[in-house]
Structures are given as C-alpha cells and as structure tokens.
C-alpha cells in the first residue's frame, strides 16, 4: 500500500490544495480514522464519520469535543505545538489534557511545505488506534511529500 500512497502523493504534488486533500484521504483511509492538516492558511480535516466505527467515540459529548478541536485553529495549534516531538507525536487520553477525550488519541507530525510554510498533519481517533499502522503511515506520508516537493518548490 505504501507504494500506492507514494504515487498518489507524487501525482498531486503540483497543486497545494490537491496535495493536502490527498494527504488527508490517505491518512483517513489507511488509519480508519479522522485526519487533519494545518498550514498557515487553513485547517482541513477528513473522515470524521469514521470515528463512529469506534464504540467509545459514539458519545455525543466526545464527538462534539473532537469537532470543536478540529474547527478551532488556536486550540488545535496549541495542542500540537505544546506536545510536538522530534519525529511523530502521539497523545493518548489524559495526555491531551482535554475533558471528555480520555478515549481518544492524536498522532501527528510536521514537515516543511509550500513556499516556506509548514504542514502539520495527523490522525485523531480512538486510543485503540492501530499504532503499528499509523506510525509507519505518518512517516511514509511525511517522507513521500518531502521527496515529491524536493527540488522544485
């Protein structure tokens, strides 16, 4: 699947919007979760309905809280910035420090992007996320995007 991921990202590399959309789709499809991306211009997310696949996330309070975060640029950036690791950051349950999200996890990373921008992207889902899929996926997407943008940006 990683070869396909790489090809999809490579094909979208000349169009910033298309590239972000492809990243979101790839993450959401492969992690069976919601995905998000932040650039200096916008926040986008995808696959929120996939959160309904997890019994523990079906509670209205939990879903509302996740959507609040995904739609609130300041909150999401604060969450990401204050917990950023070298490579891939993972926040599980209480580590998020946000009420009602004990059953959730966020996994994300950031890379240089278009015109000296930064792209932060990741997935949000159940704390039962399949980390052995999600971590290599984030790493792979990260490497593929860097490679496809190299040399002509």
Q: How many CB atoms lie within 10 A of CB 21?
A: 15
**Cβ pair 24, 37 in contact under 8 A:** yes
**Cβ pair 24, 46 in contact under 8 A:** yes
pLDDT of 153 higher than 60:
no
Residue 25's pLDDT is 97
Contacts 24+ apart (CB under 8 A), 17-26: 19/145, 20/44, 20/119, 21/46, 23/119, 23/121, 23/141, 23/145, 24/121, 26/137, 26/141
Residue 87's pLDDT is 87
**pLDDT classification of 27: cutoffs 50, 70, 90:** very high
Residue 106's pLDDT is 96
What are the backbone angles phi and psi of residue 35, rounded to the nearest 5°? -125, 160
pLDDT of 2 higher than 90:
no
What mean pLDDT is predicted for residues 46-57? 95
What mean pLDDT is predicted for residues 124-140? 95
What are the backbone angles phi and psi of residue 117, rounded to the nearest 5°? -85, 175
| Beta strands per DSSP E along the chain | 34-38, 43-46, 89-92, 104-113, 117-126
**Cβ pair 88, 80 in contact under 8 A:** no
**pLDDT classification of 64: cutoffs 50, 70, 90:** very high
**pLDDT classification of 151: cutoffs 50, 70, 90:** low
Q: How far apart are CA 78 and CA 72, in angstroms?
A: 10
């Amino acid at each position: 699947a990683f070869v396909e991921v790489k090809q999809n990202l490579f094909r979208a590399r000349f169009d910033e919007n298309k590239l972000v959309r492809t990243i979101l789709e790839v993450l959401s499809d492969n992690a069976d979760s919601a995905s998000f991306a932040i650039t200096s211009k916008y926040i986008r997310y995808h696959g929120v309905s996939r959160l309904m696949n997890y019994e523990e996330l079906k509670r209205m309070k939990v879903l509302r809280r996740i959507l609040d975060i995904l739609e609130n640029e300041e909150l999401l950036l604060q969450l990401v910035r204050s917990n950023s690791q070298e490579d891939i950051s993972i926040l599980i349950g209480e580590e998020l420090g946000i009420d009602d999200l004990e059953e959730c996890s966020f996994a994300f990373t950031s890379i240089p992007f278009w015109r000296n921008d930064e792209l932060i992207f990741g997935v949000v889902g159940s704390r039962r996320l399949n980390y052995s899929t999600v971590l290599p996926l984030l790493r792979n997407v990260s490497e593929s995007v860097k490679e496809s943008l190299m040399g002509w940006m």
